[in-house]
């Protein structure tokens, strides 16, 4: 390798790595894909084994472990019971107010079984979809696991989303039951989640039961016959700690999770019990090198795929100890994270470039206050990590001994697709090489491989067990969004631009579609624009992303006002707040520019790239399709 900026793993890291060699195993995994994935699946327990590892007779609706029966809970909890793992810590939680809760695998099983029995008593059945809208509380995780245990699918909606966004997702999933909390703590102040649920339900009749966990004790409005306090239900005889885990087909739905695309409303990606179990378990074991004695902290929110795969399922299947924290990273001081790493002896920390940049801003003296020598591996996800943040993380958090696992993946992929192993030489800013079994390529618009170092579309050339099965109730959209573009070749189109260098390392550049990554969160320009246009003063709008030091990207809106209205600073604030109310605070635009016209093609499509080039003072490129 001819790049100077390469960081080699230490002897110590290599010595203890679960996987000590990449090239040969990678070669084997793509030549004998089914054999490789059968061997990984053999490491888990199944009620009934598969008759075929991969059924590709109905592309792109691939079926993994066809004919097998399992339940992810069997591997995440049940099989640890009666082994020494039963009495080790499964889960440590710290509230923002300093409250600490700990659960052994035995206790986790009890909590999940109690929750599962309550859901059953509320009429939840196999195949139902339960919506979970909660802050980061232990009950959020118990609720997810309880759904899975009884064969219901969970749909977790991020607690930062607005009542409108929540309503859309409840309606799309037709959830009879919603699980929430009165609120949680954020920067010392209570949030008001139940209130948002109440607002959403005013406009919706499908929900019959709302279960509310008490966290803050703030007054909330409870409606007779619909609203139940979790602690009241827990006191009933039905809420006992024994519950059978329901047998599921490998291909049955485990959860759905909504994510934004380039068009229309967010789509619910469907993940299944079998393939997803194998994929999260394997990636966790090989990339994060998980050992039974590890304390693993994935600082994402369970409301995102990162939380599903690597707070909850991947680590529990591996019998590790997970840690999660309720609140803000800088509350009450910017050393909160490092204090907790020290206190609990966290050994692996997985977070986002945005979070790293946010903590970096306060300076390393906050890190140095604490003995964080328990850390042995670090991780990054969500967007490309800028080398400056990478180096800060490596030097000040990892003390130049912890390799950084920069993991590229998506809600759709279920788990890591491009990621190093602890033994992989690292280049800051590159997610390095494909994970086992994955064939990735950078291609031009015709689907042909581009030359080394050239930019193109990132594609996945072969199926993998973590892949989403479909878009909920919309097979057509699944095909259209991911498989149509390179239909001839049968490639999955990731929607990202990338380069592959002379060492086979992948460098992700960013989205090629109309999806914006703000602080690592994925938002569709179409959704943002329709939120802006729903403001009574707005006639037309366009939204683009521009670089931002902390967030990676920030949203900038361009607005044409309705006839006769005059632009003002006040109106700008109003529109920004309106978007935050419609979608949630993460979608709040950084700026609104009032314009008389928007650049459009003759067919009426907004040319966002022209707005962007103009804002950045760059060349506007080919304007031949511009209407005027």
**Cα–Cα dist 421/258, whole Å:** 29
Helices (H), 125-255: 138-149, 163-173, 193-202, 230-234
Does position 108 interact with ligand WT7 (CB under 6 A)? The reply is no
Residue 231, SS3? Answer: helix
Angle at 480 between CA 500 and CA 409, to 5 degrees: 40
Task: Record the tokens describing residue 60, joined without a space.
Answer: 């792109």
**Distances 390 to 45, 429, 434, 511, 516 between C-alpha atoms, Å:** 38, 7, 20, 21, 22
Part in contact with ligand WT7 (CB under 6 A); list of ranges 20-28, 406-414, 573-581, 615-623:
406-414
Nearer to ligand WT7 (CB atom), residue 135 or residue 261? 261
**Distances 227 to 138, 142, 194, 223, 452 between C-alpha atoms, Å:** 20, 19, 10, 5, 59
**Cα–Cα dist 41/135, whole Å:** 33
What secondary structure letter does DSSP report for 259?
Answer: E
**Cα–Cα dist 277/314, whole Å:** 7
Q: How far is the CB of 496 from ligand WT7 (least distance, A)?
A: 5
Strand order across the 377-380 sheet: 100-104, 89-94, 321-325, 295-298, 348-351, 377-380, 404-406
**Cα–Cα dist 548/3, whole Å:** 28
Task: Record the tokens describing residue 494, joined without a space.
Answer: 């990731």
Nearer to ligand WT7 (CB atom), residue 192 or residue 522? 522
Question: Are 429 and 389 spatial neighbours (Cβ–Cβ below 8 Å)?
Answer: no
Does position 274 interact with ligand WT7 (CB under 6 A)? The reply is no
Nearer to ligand WT7 (CB atom), residue 360 or residue 561? 360
**Cα–Cα dist 353/364, whole Å:** 16
Q: Which of 17, 305, 355, 528 binds ligand WT7 (CB under 6 A)?
A: 305
Q: Which of 278, 431, 471, 555 binds ligand WT7 (CB under 6 A)?
A: 431
Q: How far is the CB of 262 from ligand WT7 (least distance, A)?
A: 12
Q: How far is the CB of 507 from ligand WT7 (least distance, A)?
A: 9
Nearer to ligand WT7 (CB atom), residue 266 or residue 599? 266
Part in contact with ligand WT7 (CB under 6 A); list of ranges 185-193, 378-386, 528-536, 548-556:
378-386
Nearer to ligand WT7 (CB atom), residue 279 or residue 344? 279
Part in contact with ligand WT7 (CB under 6 A); list of ranges 99-107, 380-388, 573-581, 592-600:
380-388
Nearer to ligand WT7 (CB atom), residue 109 or residue 280? 280
What secondary structure letter does DSSP report for 386?
Answer: P
Does position 406 interact with ligand WT7 (CB under 6 A)? The reply is yes
Nearer to ligand WT7 (CB atom), residue 295 or residue 499? 499
Token match 């991947």: residue?
314
Q: Which of 383, 514, 527, 529 binds ligand WT7 (CB under 6 A)?
A: 383
Q: Which of 111, 496, 527, 529 binds ligand WT7 (CB under 6 A)?
A: 496
Q: Which of 198, 250, 259, 424 binds ligand WT7 (CB under 6 A)?
A: 259
Residues that contact ligand WT7, how many (by CB under 6 A) = 21
Q: Packing angle between helix 163-173 and helix 193-202, nearest 10 degrees?
A: 60
Per-residue string for binding with ligand WT7, 505-534, x by CB under 6 A? ---x--x-----x----x------------
Does position 438 interact with ligand WT7 (CB under 6 A)? The reply is no
Q: Which 3-state string (H, E, C) describes 342-377?
A: HHHCCCEEEECHHHHHHHHCCCCHHHHCCCCCCCCE
Phi/psi of residue 471, nearest 5 degrees? -95, 130
Nearer to ligand WT7 (CB atom), residue 463 or residue 495? 495
Does position 424 interact with ligand WT7 (CB under 6 A)? The reply is no
Task: Record the tokens describing residue 354, joined without a space.
Answer: 């945005």
**Cα–Cα dist 510/607, whole Å:** 18
Task: Record the tokens describing residue 545, joined without a space.
Answer: 């992303």
Nearer to ligand WT7 (CB atom), residue 111 or residue 383? 383
Does position 356 interact with ligand WT7 (CB under 6 A)? The reply is no
Nearer to ligand WT7 (CB atom), residue 70 or residue 324? 324
Sheet strands (E) in 551-601: 552-561, 591-594
Nearer to ligand WT7 (CB atom), residue 382 or residue 447? 382
Angle at 540 between CA 534 and CA 541, to 5 degrees: 85
Sign of CA dihedral 552, 159, 349, 291: negative
Does position 71 interact with ligand WT7 (CB under 6 A)? The reply is no
Q: Which of 29, 180, 410, 438 binds ligand WT7 (CB under 6 A)?
A: 410
Q: How far is the CB of 445 from ligand WT7 (least distance, A)?
A: 18
Q: How far is the CB of 491 from ligand WT7 (least distance, A)?
A: 15
Q: Which of 306, 438, 457, 493 binds ligand WT7 (CB under 6 A)?
A: 306
**Cα–Cα dist 556/153, whole Å:** 36
Part in contact with ligand WT7 (CB under 6 A); list of ranges 85-93, 202-210, 335-343, 403-411:
403-411
**How far is C-alpha 556 from the chain's CA centre?**
24
Part in contact with ligand WT7 (CB under 6 A); list of ranges 156-164, 327-335, 409-417, 596-604:
409-417
Part in contact with ligand WT7 (CB under 6 A); list of ranges 79-87, 171-179, 402-410, 548-556:
402-410
Does position 382 interact with ligand WT7 (CB under 6 A)? The reply is yes
Nearer to ligand WT7 (CB atom), residue 75 or residue 306? 306
**Cα–Cα dist 73/452, whole Å:** 43
Q: How far is the CB of 517 from ligand WT7 (least distance, A)?
A: 6
Q: How far is the CB of 30 from ligand WT7 (least distance, A)?
A: 21
Part in contact with ligand WT7 (CB under 6 A); list of ranges 47-55, 161-169, 237-245, 379-387:
379-387
What secondary structure letter does DSSP report for 258?
Answer: E
Phi/psi of residue 570, nearest 5 degrees? -65, -40
Cβ atoms within 10 Å of 84's Cβ, excluding its own: 10
- Which residues in this chain contact ligand WT7 in the complex, by CB under 6 A? 259, 305-306, 381-384, 406-411, 431, 494-496, 508, 511, 517, 522
């Amino acid at each position: 390798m001819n790049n100077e900026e390469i960081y080699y793993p230490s002897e110590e890291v290599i010595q203890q790595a679960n996987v000590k060699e990449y090239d040969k195993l990678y070669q084997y995994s793509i030549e004998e894909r089914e054999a490789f994935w059968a061997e990984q699946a053999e490491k888990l327990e199944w009620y009934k084994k598969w008759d075929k590892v991969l059924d590709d007779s109905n592309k792109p609706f691939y079926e993994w472990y066809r004919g097998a029966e399992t339940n992810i809970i069997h591997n995440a909890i049940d099989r640890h019971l009666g082994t020494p793992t039963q009495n080790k810590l499964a889960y440590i939680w710290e509230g923002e107010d300093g409250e600490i809760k700990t659960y052994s695998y035995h206790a986790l099983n009890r909590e999940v079984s109690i929750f599962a029995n309550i859901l059953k008593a509320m009429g939840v059945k196999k195949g139902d979809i339960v919506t979970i809208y909660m802050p980061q509380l232990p009950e959020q995780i118990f609720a997810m696991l309880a759904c899975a245990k009884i064969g219901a699918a969970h749909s977790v909606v991020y607690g930062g989303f607005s009542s409108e966004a929540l309503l859309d997702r409840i309606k799309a999933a037709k959830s009879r039951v919603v699980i929430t909390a009165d609120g949680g703590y954020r920067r010392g102040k209570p949030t008001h989640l139940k209130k948002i649920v109440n607002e959403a339900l005013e406009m919706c009749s499908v929900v019959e039961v709302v279960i509310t966990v008490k966290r803050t004790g703030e007054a909330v409005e409870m409606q007779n016959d619909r609203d139940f306090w979790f602690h009241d239900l827990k006191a009933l005889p039905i809420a006992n700690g024994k519950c059978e885990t329901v047998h599921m087909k490998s291909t049955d739905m485990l959860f759905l999770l909504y994510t934004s695309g380039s068009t229309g409303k967010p789509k619910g990606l469907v993940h299944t019990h079998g393939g997803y179990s194998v994929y999260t378990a394997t990636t966790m074991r090989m990339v994060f090198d998980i050992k039974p004695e590890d304390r693993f902290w994935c600082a994402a929110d369970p409301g995102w795929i990162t939380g599903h795969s690597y707070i909850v399922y991947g680590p529990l299947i591996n019998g590790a100890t997970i840690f999660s924290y309720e609140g803000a990273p800088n509350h009450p001081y910017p050393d909160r994270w490092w204090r907790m790493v020290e206190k609990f002896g966290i050994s692996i920390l997985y977070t986002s470039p945005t979070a790293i940049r946010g903590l970096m801003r306060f300076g390393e003296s906050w890190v140095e206050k604490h003995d964080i020598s328990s850390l042995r591996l670090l991780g990054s996800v969500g967007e490309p990590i800028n080398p400056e943040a990478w180096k800060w993380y490596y030097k000040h958090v990892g003390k130049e001994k912890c390799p950084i696992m920069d993991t590229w993946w998506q809600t759709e992929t279920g788990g890591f697709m491009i990621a190093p192993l602890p033994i992989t030489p690292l280049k800051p800013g590159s997610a390095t090489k494909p994970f086992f079994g994955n064939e990735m390529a950078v291609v031009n618009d015709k689907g042909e491989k581009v030359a080394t170092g050239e930019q193109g579309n990132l594609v996945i050339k072969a199926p993998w067990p973590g892949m989403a099965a479909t878009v909920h109730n919309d097979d057509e959209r699944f095909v259209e969004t991911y498989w149509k573009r390179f239909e001839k070749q049968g490639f999955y189109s990731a929607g990202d631009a990338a380069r592959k260098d002379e060492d086979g390392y992948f460098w992700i550049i960013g989205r090629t579609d109309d999806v914006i990554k703000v602080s690592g969160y994925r938002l569709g320009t179409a959704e943002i624009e329709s939120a802006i246009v729903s403001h009574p003063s707005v006639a037309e709008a366009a939204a683009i992303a521009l670089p931002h030091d902390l967030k990676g990207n920030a949203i900038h809106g361009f607005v044409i006002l309705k006839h006769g209205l005059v632009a003002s600073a006040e109106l700008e604030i109003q529109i920004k707040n309106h978007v935050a109310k419609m979608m949630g605070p993460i979608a709040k635009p950084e700026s609104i520019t009032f314009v008389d016209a928007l650049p459009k093609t003759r067919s009426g499509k907004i040319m966002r790239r022209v707005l962007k080039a103009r804002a950045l003072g760059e060349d506007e490129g080919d304007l031949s399709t511009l209407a005027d």
